[in-house]
Amino acid sequence: MGIFIASDHAGFELKEYLKNHFDLLDLGTHSAESCDYPVFAKKLIVRLKEGDRGVLICGTGIGMSIAANRFQNVRAALCFNEEMAVLSRQHNDANVIVLGARMISKEVARKCVEKFLATDFEGGRHQRRLDLIADGCSNTD
């Protein structure tokens, strides 16, 4: 399983911090100079294969979430605490965790990533719901 990380300038410092705690493949950005988060969302998503995980960071986490979830087979979850990180795996089979560097502390972010990487998907009724999403929610009437 490859674990990729990418951020914009707002997430740069948190990205560097997380690299000290996990074995992450860094896809940029590589400085705190202003840049565009969709560029880095795409750099990460195109590298994701089945079983891989991604960590995306911007200021709020919102922009990265919107950008990442435009791609097929991406389930990107914006998490503010450990419980959300656990549930994003158990219920949503999230393959990307999104963090808002201006919204949470580095310590909370580290704990979120820890849980995200350690928690398994529960399947069952949750798989049925993911199948509905994968199908564009076309069978939900």
* Binding stretches for ligand RB5 (CB under 6 A): 8, 10, 37, 58-60, 62-63
Alpha carbon distances (Å) from 86 to 1, 75, 92, 111: 18, 14, 10, 10
C-alpha–C-alpha distance, residues 48 and 139, integer Å: 27
Determine whether 126 is an active site residue.
no
Q: Which of 50, 46, 64 lies closest to 2 in space, CA to CA?
A: 50
Q: Which helix (H) or strand (E) segment is 130 a member of?
A: helix 125-134
Residue 101 beta carbon to ligand RB5: minimum distance, rounded to whole angstroms:
8
Dist CA 137 CA 141 (whole Å): 9
Q: How far is the CB of 62 from ligand RB5 (least distance, A)?
A: 4
- Closer by beta carbon to ligand RB5, 108 or else 117: 108
> Which residue's CB is nearer to ligand RB5, number 13 or number 82?
13
Token duo for residue 64: 């990265």
Which entry of 9, 30, 91, 126 is annotated as an active-site residue?
A: 91
Considering beta carbons, is residue 59 or 126 the nearer one to ligand RB5? 59
Residue closest to ligand RB5 (Cβ): 63
Quote the least distance from Cβ 129 to ligand RB5, whole Å: 26
Q: Catalytic site residues?
A: 91
